[in-house]
Amino acid sequence: MTAKTNLREQDGPYFGDYGGRFVPESLIAALDQLEEVYSQAKADPSFAKELDELNQTYVGRPSIITEVPKFAALAGDIRVFLKREDLNHTGSHKINNVIGQALLAKRMGKKRIIAETGAGQHGVASATAAALFGLECVVYMGEVDTQRQALNVARMKLLGAEVIPVTTGSRTLKDAINEALRDWVANVDDTHYLLGTVAGPHPFPTIVRDFHSVIGREARDQMLNDFGFLPDVVAACVGGGSNAIGLFHAFLDDEEVALWGFEAAGEGMDTMRHAATLSKGKVGVLHGAKSYMLQDEDGQTIESHSISAGLDYPGVGPEHSWLKDLNRAQYFGISDDEAMQALRALSQTEGIIPAIETAHALAGVIKYGSTLPSGATVLLNLSGRGDKDMETVGKYFGFLE
């Protein structure tokens, strides 16, 4: 990549060969409407103003940057900076997209929102926005995830949302998306599907990315203004890919900045039990978009596995597939255990308890940081806090025995 690139300007429906709208005809009118309303909103200064105000007075933006030298020492002679999305209201980056889409739902006159959730962070954020804007909210969540993230189920219910456990298929995030799509097909007139990641049919990958791109815009300015340089590496965990795209996007055309995405390798990249879609998957169509995905030779989706519910997804957003093929971003697998050790390491070196999802990126920096030259700088998206994971963590390390 020698010439100045303009990757940042790429919008859907296609990112290279990826993306599109592989959905039932029943949804096309709703996707067209969403695209139209979003394009009007983008052109309307009052929309940006309302979003900015909510970001400042409700979400708590801008999120701060914390340098973590003791953690960085574990990774070699480098400096590590955390973009603290864990400090947002509701505890993760997910709120950025939810506030934006809830405003769009209001503009479309839709009174009901539905959402899928894996770890529960997007479900909690959606339930929060529904409470704030007075919308009815239904959250679909795989039955397996309702058990491993019981605390988030309680939070959603407290916020007034209905949580529907999904009992078909693998009973995880992928099946929650199927069920949300079925609901949307049936109720598209009065319902907005508040999709929580940069996957799904156009225009979702573009819209969700745009609402999360505030992460990278802020972080890029903060690095330049507070520290006087751009980082050598920008790093994030990748499930569907929303927090990673949110951070990467502002840096896409900074060719000197490397982009590292860390997927869940579960029990290992050489086992069948992982969620390393970009590293181990093949191109196919899942949930409305063409992208890398985990599948067998017949195109049947293979169930993913990760200790982290939020990364336990056999697909990935189309823009990541495009960035991978362009070699603009590199994607690596991080095992359950590597992530858990990194989670404990950040907690004990810096007093910051990250979500298990986020811990995959932390583990990636420990694992690959030593390949960087002395004094290199890494900016990492600390996408969520770990409170929701205390049961899993407690069991893993034997704290609850």
Partner 1 sequence: MSKTETLLNTLAQKGEDALIGYFPAGYPTMSDSVEACVAMCESGIDILELGVPYSDPVMDGLVIQVATEQALANGFKLNGFFELLKEISSRVDTPVLVMSYWNPILQYGVERFAKDLKGAGGAGLITPDLIPDEATDWLKFSDELDLDRVFMATPSSSQERLNQVARLSRGFIYAVSTMGITGAREDLDAKARGVVSGVKSTTTKVPVCVGIGISTAEQVSEVNSYADGAIVGSVFIKAYRDGGVEELKKTVRKLKGGK
Q: Among all residues, which ones are annotated catalytic? A: 94, 116, 383
Say which residue the tokens 């992928």 belong to: 174
User: For partner 1, which is the closer residue by CB, 46 or 300?
Assistant: 300
User: For partner 1, which is the closer residue by CB, 183 or 210?
Assistant: 183
User: For partner 1, which is the closer residue by CB, 44 or 190?
Assistant: 190
Minimum Å distance from CB 395 to partner 1?
Answer: 30
- Give the full edge-to-edge strand order of the sheet including 162-166: 162-166, 136-142, 112-117, 191-193
Nearest-angstrom CA–CA distance, 245 and 34:
21
Minimum Å distance from CB 325 to partner 1?
Answer: 17
- Give the full edge-to-edge strand order of the sheet including 329-335: 65-67, 79-83, 377-381, 233-237, 258-266, 329-335
Nearest-angstrom CA–CA distance, 154 and 45:
37
Task: Enter the tokens of residue 356.
Answer: 């298990």
Largest distance between two CA atoms of the chain: 57
User: For partner 1, which is the closer residue by CB, 165 or 268?
Assistant: 165
Minimum Å distance from CB 191 to partner 1?
Answer: 10
Minimum Å distance from CB 298 to partner 1?
Answer: 5
Binding site for partner 1 (CB under 8 A): 20-26, 28-30, 168-169, 174-175, 178, 181-182, 185-189, 282, 284-288, 295, 297-301
Nearest-angstrom CA–CA distance, 100 and 96:
7
Phi/psi of residue 60, nearest 5 degrees? 100, 25
Residue 210 vs residues 8, 15, 198, 206, 382: alpha-carbon distances, Å: 10, 15, 10, 6, 19
Helix (H) or strand (E) holding 233: strand 233-237
CA-closest candidate to residue 86, choices 359, 305, 336, 367: 359
Nearest-angstrom CA–CA distance, 183 and 24:
13
Minimum Å distance from CB 188 to partner 1?
Answer: 6
Nearest-angstrom CA–CA distance, 108 and 40:
11
With beta carbons less than 8 A apart as the criterion, state whether 276 and 264 touch. yes
User: For partner 1, which is the closer residue by CB, 83 or 202?
Assistant: 202
User: For partner 1, which is the closer residue by CB, 88 or 295?
Assistant: 295
β-strand partners of 331: 261
Nearest-angstrom CA–CA distance, 259 and 172:
28
User: For partner 1, which is the closer residue by CB, 30 or 54?
Assistant: 30
